[in-house]
Structure 1
Amino acid sequence: MELFEERGFQNTTAVEIAKRARVTTRTFFRYFADKQAVVFADAERLRAALIQQLGTTADAGQPLRSVTAVLAGFDWESLGSRESQRRRDRMIASNPELLERDLMKQHEMAEAFSGVLQEEGVEPCAAELAARVGIDVFRTAYRRWLAADEGTADLSAIVETVVAALNSIAPAPRESET
Protein backbone atom coordinates (compact mmCIF):
# COMPACT_ATOMS: atom_id res chain seq x y z
CA MET A 1 0.00 0.00 0.00
CA GLU A 2 2.88 2.35 0.75
CA LEU A 3 4.16 1.97 -2.78
CA PHE A 4 0.74 2.82 -4.18
CA GLU A 5 0.67 5.93 -1.99
CA GLU A 6 4.18 6.96 -3.04
CA ARG A 7 3.80 6.45 -6.78
CA GLY A 8 0.05 6.36 -7.28
CA PHE A 9 -1.85 3.20 -8.05
CA GLN A 10 -1.83 3.71 -11.82
CA ASN A 11 1.92 4.39 -11.87
CA THR A 12 2.90 1.33 -9.84
CA THR A 13 3.77 -1.90 -11.65
CA ALA A 14 3.62 -5.49 -10.46
CA VAL A 15 7.40 -5.66 -10.93
CA GLU A 16 7.84 -2.74 -8.51
CA ILE A 17 5.49 -4.34 -5.99
CA ALA A 18 7.42 -7.61 -6.17
CA LYS A 19 10.73 -5.79 -5.78
CA ARG A 20 9.44 -3.87 -2.72
CA ALA A 21 8.18 -7.14 -1.21
CA ARG A 22 11.56 -8.77 -1.94
CA VAL A 23 10.08 -11.53 -4.08
CA THR A 24 10.39 -12.36 -7.74
CA THR A 25 7.74 -11.22 -10.18
CA ARG A 26 6.91 -14.87 -10.74
CA THR A 27 6.29 -15.36 -7.00
CA PHE A 28 4.13 -12.23 -6.95
CA PHE A 29 1.92 -13.66 -9.69
CA ARG A 30 1.60 -16.97 -7.83
CA TYR A 31 -0.18 -15.09 -5.06
CA PHE A 32 -1.88 -12.26 -6.94
CA ALA A 33 -3.56 -12.27 -10.34
CA ASP A 34 -2.81 -8.56 -10.79
CA LYS A 35 -1.88 -5.50 -8.78
CA GLN A 36 -5.56 -4.80 -7.98
CA ALA A 37 -5.67 -8.09 -6.08
CA VAL A 38 -3.10 -6.70 -3.63
CA VAL A 39 -5.61 -4.07 -2.50
CA PHE A 40 -8.22 -6.79 -1.88
CA ALA A 41 -5.88 -9.40 -0.41
CA ASP A 42 -8.07 -9.94 2.69
CA ALA A 43 -11.37 -10.08 0.78
CA GLU A 44 -11.84 -13.86 0.74
CA ARG A 45 -10.89 -14.29 4.40
CA LEU A 46 -13.26 -11.47 5.32
CA ARG A 47 -16.07 -12.89 3.19
CA ALA A 48 -15.71 -16.37 4.70
CA ALA A 49 -15.71 -15.02 8.26
CA LEU A 50 -18.78 -12.83 7.68
CA ILE A 51 -20.73 -15.59 5.92
CA GLN A 52 -19.93 -18.04 8.70
CA GLN A 53 -21.05 -15.52 11.32
CA LEU A 54 -24.28 -14.75 9.47
CA GLY A 55 -24.96 -18.47 9.14
CA THR A 56 -24.77 -18.93 12.90
CA THR A 57 -26.66 -15.78 13.93
CA ALA A 58 -29.21 -15.06 11.18
CA ASP A 59 -32.74 -14.38 12.37
CA ALA A 60 -35.28 -15.11 9.63
CA GLY A 61 -37.67 -12.65 11.27
CA GLN A 62 -35.17 -9.80 11.05
CA PRO A 63 -32.93 -10.38 8.03
CA LEU A 64 -31.80 -6.76 7.64
CA ARG A 65 -30.92 -6.54 11.33
CA SER A 66 -29.03 -9.84 10.99
CA VAL A 67 -26.89 -8.51 8.15
CA THR A 68 -26.11 -5.17 9.79
CA ALA A 69 -25.34 -6.84 13.13
CA VAL A 70 -22.84 -9.23 11.54
CA LEU A 71 -21.12 -6.41 9.67
CA ALA A 72 -21.09 -4.09 12.69
CA GLY A 73 -19.84 -6.85 14.98
CA PHE A 74 -16.78 -7.74 12.92
CA ASP A 75 -13.40 -6.54 14.24
CA TRP A 76 -12.57 -4.22 11.35
CA GLU A 77 -9.38 -3.05 13.01
CA SER A 78 -8.05 -6.61 12.60
CA LEU A 79 -7.63 -5.62 8.94
CA GLY A 80 -5.39 -2.69 9.86
CA SER A 81 -5.53 0.58 11.68
CA ARG A 82 -8.36 2.95 10.95
CA GLU A 83 -5.84 5.28 9.30
CA SER A 84 -4.62 2.55 6.93
CA GLN A 85 -8.25 1.72 6.12
CA ARG A 86 -8.89 5.41 5.40
CA ARG A 87 -5.98 5.51 2.98
CA ARG A 88 -7.17 2.31 1.29
CA ASP A 89 -10.72 3.65 1.01
CA ARG A 90 -9.48 6.92 -0.55
CA MET A 91 -7.32 5.01 -3.02
CA ILE A 92 -10.25 2.81 -4.06
CA ALA A 93 -12.59 5.80 -4.41
CA SER A 94 -10.10 7.65 -6.62
CA ASN A 95 -9.35 4.78 -8.99
CA PRO A 96 -12.04 3.49 -11.38
CA GLU A 97 -10.47 0.01 -11.68
CA LEU A 98 -10.36 -0.42 -7.92
CA LEU A 99 -13.82 1.04 -7.45
CA GLU A 100 -15.20 -1.41 -10.00
CA ARG A 101 -13.53 -4.33 -8.21
CA ASP A 102 -14.80 -3.07 -4.84
CA LEU A 103 -18.34 -2.92 -6.18
CA MET A 104 -17.97 -6.46 -7.54
CA LYS A 105 -16.78 -7.64 -4.11
CA GLN A 106 -19.81 -5.97 -2.49
CA HIS A 107 -22.10 -7.62 -5.05
CA GLU A 108 -20.54 -11.04 -4.35
CA MET A 109 -20.96 -10.49 -0.61
CA ALA A 110 -24.62 -9.54 -1.08
CA GLU A 111 -25.22 -12.66 -3.16
CA ALA A 112 -23.60 -14.83 -0.49
CA PHE A 113 -25.53 -13.13 2.32
CA SER A 114 -28.78 -13.56 0.38
CA GLY A 115 -28.04 -17.26 -0.01
CA VAL A 116 -27.41 -17.67 3.72
CA LEU A 117 -30.61 -15.82 4.59
CA GLN A 118 -32.60 -18.00 2.18
CA GLU A 119 -31.12 -21.11 3.81
CA GLU A 120 -32.42 -19.73 7.10
CA GLY A 121 -35.94 -19.48 5.67
CA VAL A 122 -36.08 -15.89 4.44
CA GLU A 123 -38.11 -15.47 1.24
CA PRO A 124 -35.76 -14.87 -1.76
CA CYS A 125 -36.83 -11.29 -2.54
CA ALA A 126 -36.61 -10.27 1.13
CA ALA A 127 -33.25 -12.03 1.47
CA GLU A 128 -31.82 -10.19 -1.53
CA LEU A 129 -33.12 -6.83 -0.32
CA ALA A 130 -31.86 -7.41 3.22
CA ALA A 131 -28.42 -8.38 1.94
CA ARG A 132 -28.06 -5.47 -0.49
CA VAL A 133 -29.59 -2.80 1.75
CA GLY A 134 -27.69 -4.13 4.76
CA ILE A 135 -24.39 -3.82 2.92
CA ASP A 136 -25.26 -0.29 1.78
CA VAL A 137 -26.26 0.68 5.32
CA PHE A 138 -22.99 -0.69 6.59
CA ARG A 139 -20.91 1.04 3.88
CA THR A 140 -22.49 4.36 4.85
CA ALA A 141 -21.70 3.73 8.52
CA TYR A 142 -18.20 2.46 7.73
CA ARG A 143 -17.33 5.64 5.82
CA ARG A 144 -18.63 7.76 8.70
CA TRP A 145 -16.51 5.68 11.08
CA LEU A 146 -13.45 6.19 8.89
CA ALA A 147 -14.07 9.95 8.82
CA ALA A 148 -14.36 10.18 12.62
CA ASP A 149 -11.39 10.83 14.89
CA GLU A 150 -9.56 7.79 16.27
CA GLY A 151 -11.18 6.47 19.43
CA THR A 152 -14.18 8.79 19.24
CA ALA A 153 -16.61 6.71 17.24
CA ASP A 154 -18.04 3.28 17.88
CA LEU A 155 -18.85 1.56 14.59
CA SER A 156 -21.82 -0.33 16.07
CA ALA A 157 -23.35 2.94 17.28
CA ILE A 158 -22.85 4.52 13.86
CA VAL A 159 -24.53 1.53 12.22
CA GLU A 160 -27.51 1.99 14.57
CA THR A 161 -27.69 5.68 13.62
CA VAL A 162 -27.70 4.80 9.91
CA VAL A 163 -30.35 2.09 10.46
CA ALA A 164 -32.47 4.71 12.27
CA ALA A 165 -32.03 7.08 9.31
CA LEU A 166 -33.14 4.30 6.95
CA ASN A 167 -36.17 3.61 9.12
CA SER A 168 -37.06 7.32 9.05
CA ILE A 169 -37.20 7.38 5.25
CA ALA A 170 -38.77 3.93 4.85
CA PRO A 171 -40.98 3.39 7.88
CA ALA A 172 -42.85 0.15 8.41
CA PRO A 173 -46.33 0.16 6.85
CA ARG A 174 -49.20 1.07 9.13
CA GLU A 175 -51.83 -1.55 9.91
CA SER A 176 -54.31 0.09 7.51
CA GLU A 177 -51.79 -0.20 4.62
CA THR A 178 -51.24 -3.96 4.90
Structure 2
Amino acid sequence: MSHCDINYHRAMSRWEPDSAERLRAAALEIYLEQGYEQTTVAQIADRAGVTARTFFRHFADKREVLFLGSELLEQEMTAALAAAPASARPIEAVAVALDAAAEFLGSGLAHSRRRQSVIAANAELRERELIKMARLVDSLAQVLRQRGSAEPEARLVAEVGIAVLRTGFEQWVGGPDDGDLAGVLRESLARLGALVER
Protein backbone atom coordinates (compact mmCIF):
# COMPACT_ATOMS: atom_id res chain seq x y z
CA MET A 1 0.00 0.00 0.00
CA SER A 2 1.31 3.34 -0.97
CA HIS A 3 0.13 6.29 1.06
CA CYS A 4 0.78 9.25 -1.22
CA ASP A 5 -0.70 10.53 -4.45
CA ILE A 6 1.66 11.62 -7.18
CA ASN A 7 1.42 13.62 -10.36
CA TYR A 8 3.12 12.48 -13.51
CA HIS A 9 3.40 13.67 -17.09
CA ARG A 10 3.07 11.43 -20.16
CA ALA A 11 6.12 13.06 -21.73
CA MET A 12 8.39 11.93 -18.90
CA SER A 13 11.41 9.85 -19.77
CA ARG A 14 10.72 6.13 -19.84
CA TRP A 15 13.71 5.54 -17.57
CA GLU A 16 12.96 7.91 -14.69
CA PRO A 17 13.38 6.25 -11.28
CA ASP A 18 9.82 6.95 -10.11
CA SER A 19 8.28 4.62 -12.69
CA ALA A 20 6.79 2.30 -10.05
CA GLU A 21 4.83 5.17 -8.50
CA ARG A 22 3.78 6.44 -11.93
CA LEU A 23 2.56 2.97 -12.83
CA ARG A 24 0.64 2.77 -9.57
CA ALA A 25 -1.06 6.09 -10.20
CA ALA A 26 -1.80 5.28 -13.83
CA ALA A 27 -3.26 1.87 -13.00
CA LEU A 28 -5.54 3.28 -10.34
CA GLU A 29 -6.83 5.95 -12.74
CA ILE A 30 -7.61 3.42 -15.45
CA TYR A 31 -9.15 0.91 -13.02
CA LEU A 32 -11.52 3.64 -11.86
CA GLU A 33 -12.32 4.74 -15.42
CA GLN A 34 -13.02 1.38 -17.05
CA GLY A 35 -12.75 -1.31 -14.39
CA TYR A 36 -9.97 -3.63 -13.28
CA GLU A 37 -10.97 -6.55 -15.49
CA GLN A 38 -11.02 -4.47 -18.67
CA THR A 39 -7.58 -2.92 -18.06
CA THR A 40 -4.42 -4.29 -19.66
CA VAL A 41 -0.81 -3.93 -18.63
CA ALA A 42 -0.13 -2.23 -21.96
CA GLN A 43 -2.71 0.46 -21.15
CA ILE A 44 -1.19 1.05 -17.72
CA ALA A 45 2.33 1.29 -19.12
CA ASP A 46 1.23 3.66 -21.87
CA ARG A 47 -0.57 5.95 -19.41
CA ALA A 48 2.52 6.02 -17.18
CA GLY A 49 4.81 6.74 -20.11
CA VAL A 50 6.85 3.54 -19.82
CA THR A 51 7.05 0.23 -21.64
CA ALA A 52 5.26 -2.95 -20.66
CA ARG A 53 8.70 -4.41 -20.03
CA THR A 54 9.28 -1.68 -17.42
CA PHE A 55 5.96 -2.59 -15.82
CA PHE A 56 7.09 -6.18 -15.36
CA ARG A 57 10.37 -5.05 -13.83
CA HIS A 58 8.33 -3.63 -10.96
CA PHE A 59 5.24 -5.83 -10.74
CA ALA A 60 4.47 -9.50 -11.36
CA ASP A 61 1.00 -8.72 -12.67
CA LYS A 62 -1.63 -6.01 -12.81
CA ARG A 63 -2.97 -6.96 -9.38
CA GLU A 64 0.29 -6.20 -7.60
CA VAL A 65 0.34 -2.60 -8.76
CA LEU A 66 -2.42 -1.95 -6.21
CA PHE A 67 -0.28 -3.32 -3.40
CA LEU A 68 2.80 -1.14 -3.86
CA GLY A 69 4.10 -0.39 -0.38
CA SER A 70 2.84 -3.58 1.29
CA GLU A 71 6.37 -4.69 2.13
CA LEU A 72 7.19 -1.27 3.60
CA LEU A 73 4.05 -1.40 5.73
CA GLU A 74 5.10 -4.82 7.00
CA GLN A 75 8.59 -3.54 7.79
CA GLU A 76 7.25 -0.49 9.64
CA MET A 77 4.83 -2.54 11.72
CA THR A 78 7.28 -5.30 12.63
CA ALA A 79 10.02 -2.78 13.48
CA ALA A 80 7.63 -0.87 15.75
CA LEU A 81 6.49 -4.09 17.41
CA ALA A 82 10.06 -5.22 18.01
CA ALA A 83 10.94 -1.80 19.48
CA ALA A 84 7.96 -1.67 21.87
CA PRO A 85 8.96 -1.58 25.55
CA ALA A 86 9.93 -5.00 26.88
CA SER A 87 7.45 -4.52 29.72
CA ALA A 88 4.53 -4.09 27.30
CA ARG A 89 1.95 -6.84 27.22
CA PRO A 90 1.57 -8.45 23.76
CA ILE A 91 -1.59 -6.50 22.91
CA GLU A 92 0.07 -3.26 24.03
CA ALA A 93 3.04 -4.01 21.78
CA VAL A 94 0.69 -4.66 18.88
CA ALA A 95 -0.94 -1.28 19.59
CA VAL A 96 2.48 0.28 18.94
CA ALA A 97 2.58 -1.55 15.59
CA LEU A 98 -0.90 -0.21 14.79
CA ASP A 99 0.32 3.32 15.50
CA ALA A 100 3.12 2.72 12.98
CA ALA A 101 0.58 1.50 10.43
CA ALA A 102 -1.53 4.60 10.97
CA GLU A 103 1.49 6.84 10.47
CA PHE A 104 2.37 5.00 7.26
CA LEU A 105 -1.15 4.95 5.80
CA GLY A 106 -2.92 7.83 7.49
CA SER A 107 -1.97 10.70 5.20
CA GLY A 108 -3.41 9.16 2.04
CA LEU A 109 -7.16 9.11 2.58
CA ALA A 110 -8.08 10.16 -0.98
CA HIS A 111 -5.82 7.52 -2.52
CA SER A 112 -6.98 4.88 -0.03
CA ARG A 113 -10.63 5.52 -0.87
CA ARG A 114 -10.02 5.14 -4.60
CA ARG A 115 -7.88 2.04 -4.14
CA GLN A 116 -10.39 0.44 -1.77
CA SER A 117 -13.26 0.99 -4.20
CA VAL A 118 -11.34 -0.90 -6.90
CA ILE A 119 -10.51 -3.78 -4.54
CA ALA A 120 -14.05 -3.99 -3.16
CA ALA A 121 -15.43 -4.40 -6.69
CA ASN A 122 -13.28 -7.42 -7.58
CA ALA A 123 -13.15 -10.82 -5.84
CA GLU A 124 -9.65 -11.56 -7.15
CA LEU A 125 -8.32 -8.34 -5.60
CA ARG A 126 -10.14 -8.98 -2.32
CA GLU A 127 -8.46 -12.37 -2.18
CA ARG A 128 -5.05 -10.80 -2.82
CA GLU A 129 -5.70 -8.28 -0.03
CA LEU A 130 -6.51 -11.14 2.37
CA ILE A 131 -3.25 -12.89 1.41
CA LYS A 132 -1.34 -9.70 2.21
CA MET A 133 -3.09 -9.43 5.57
CA ALA A 134 -2.29 -13.08 6.35
CA ARG A 135 1.37 -12.35 5.67
CA LEU A 136 1.21 -9.45 8.11
CA VAL A 137 -0.25 -11.77 10.74
CA ASP A 138 2.61 -14.22 10.22
CA SER A 139 5.21 -11.46 10.54
CA LEU A 140 3.69 -9.95 13.67
CA ALA A 141 3.30 -13.38 15.27
CA GLN A 142 6.96 -14.12 14.60
CA VAL A 143 8.05 -10.89 16.32
CA LEU A 144 5.75 -11.61 19.25
CA ARG A 145 7.37 -15.02 19.64
CA GLN A 146 10.79 -13.36 19.58
CA ARG A 147 9.53 -11.07 22.35
CA GLY A 148 8.66 -14.11 24.45
CA SER A 149 5.03 -14.84 23.65
CA ALA A 150 4.17 -18.51 23.41
CA GLU A 151 1.76 -20.10 20.96
CA PRO A 152 -1.14 -19.83 20.55
CA GLU A 153 -1.03 -16.39 22.21
CA ALA A 154 1.39 -14.90 19.67
CA ARG A 155 -0.78 -15.82 16.68
CA LEU A 156 -4.01 -14.88 18.44
CA VAL A 157 -2.74 -11.41 19.35
CA ALA A 158 -1.34 -10.91 15.83
CA GLU A 159 -4.70 -11.93 14.33
CA VAL A 160 -6.50 -9.50 16.64
CA GLY A 161 -4.13 -6.70 15.66
CA ILE A 162 -4.70 -7.23 11.94
CA ALA A 163 -8.47 -7.53 12.46
CA VAL A 164 -8.36 -4.14 14.19
CA LEU A 165 -6.27 -2.74 11.32
CA ARG A 166 -8.66 -4.03 8.67
CA THR A 167 -11.88 -2.92 10.34
CA GLY A 168 -10.43 0.40 11.47
CA PHE A 169 -9.05 1.09 8.00
CA GLU A 170 -12.46 0.40 6.45
CA GLN A 171 -14.09 2.72 8.98
CA TRP A 172 -11.53 5.45 8.25
CA VAL A 173 -11.95 5.13 4.47
CA GLY A 174 -15.73 5.37 4.83
CA GLY A 175 -15.61 8.19 7.36
CA PRO A 176 -15.24 11.97 7.18
CA ASP A 177 -12.54 13.69 5.14
CA ASP A 178 -10.75 14.85 8.29
CA GLY A 179 -10.73 11.39 9.86
CA ASP A 180 -7.71 10.31 11.88
CA LEU A 181 -6.64 6.73 11.22
CA ALA A 182 -4.54 6.49 14.38
CA GLY A 183 -7.51 7.61 16.46
CA VAL A 184 -9.84 5.15 14.73
CA LEU A 185 -7.44 2.25 15.35
CA ARG A 186 -6.95 3.16 19.02
CA GLU A 187 -10.70 3.48 19.49
CA SER A 188 -11.29 0.13 17.80
CA LEU A 189 -8.72 -1.57 20.02
CA ALA A 190 -10.26 0.01 23.12
CA ARG A 191 -13.73 -1.08 22.03
CA LEU A 192 -12.47 -4.62 21.56
CA GLY A 193 -10.90 -4.57 25.03
CA ALA A 194 -14.20 -3.40 26.53
CA LEU A 195 -16.08 -6.20 24.77
CA VAL A 196 -13.65 -8.82 26.07
CA GLU A 197 -14.07 -7.55 29.64
CA ARG A 198 -17.86 -7.86 29.59
TM-score, structure 1 normalization: 0.87
Distance in 1 of aligned mates of 2:85 and 2:144: 7
1:41-52 equivalences in 2 (<5 Å): 41-52=68-79
* Deviations 1:107-135 (CA, angstroms, capped at 9, x unpaired): 00000000000001011211100001111
Amino acid at match of 1:2: E
Which structure 2 segments of 5+ residues have no match? Answer: 1-27
Amino acid at match of 2:174: A
Residue 110 of structure 1: aligned partner: 137
**Does residue 158 of the first structure (1) align with residue 184 of the second (2)?**
yes
Distance in 2 of aligned mates of 1:120 and 1:66: 10
1:163-178 equivalences in 2 (<5 Å): 163-171=189-197
Distance in 2 of aligned mates of 1:53 and 1:72: 8
User: Cα gap change, 1:116/1:58 in structure 2, threshold over 3 Å: closer, same or farther?
Assistant: farther
**Does residue 84 of the first structure (1) align with residue 111 of the second (2)?**
yes
**Does residue 96 of the first structure (1) align with residue 127 of the second (2)?**
no
Q: Report which of the two has the higher share of helix.
A: 1
User: Cα gap change, 1:60/1:33 in structure 2, threshold over 3 Å: closer, same or farther?
Assistant: farther
Number of aligned positions between the proteins: 170
Distance in 1 of aligned mates of 2:169 and 2:112: 10
Amino acid at match of 1:76: F
**Does residue 15 of the first structure (1) align with residue 67 of the second (2)?**
no
* Deviations 1:54-107 (CA, angstroms, capped at 9, x unpaired): 1111656521222133223432347x6201101111211221111111000000
Q: Please state whether the residue corresponding to 1:34 is helix, strand or coil.
A: coil
Q: Please state whether the residue corresponding to 1:35 is helix, strand or coil.
A: coil
RMSD: 1.9
TM-score, structure 2 normalization: 0.79
Distance in 2 of aligned mates of 1:60 and 1:104: 31
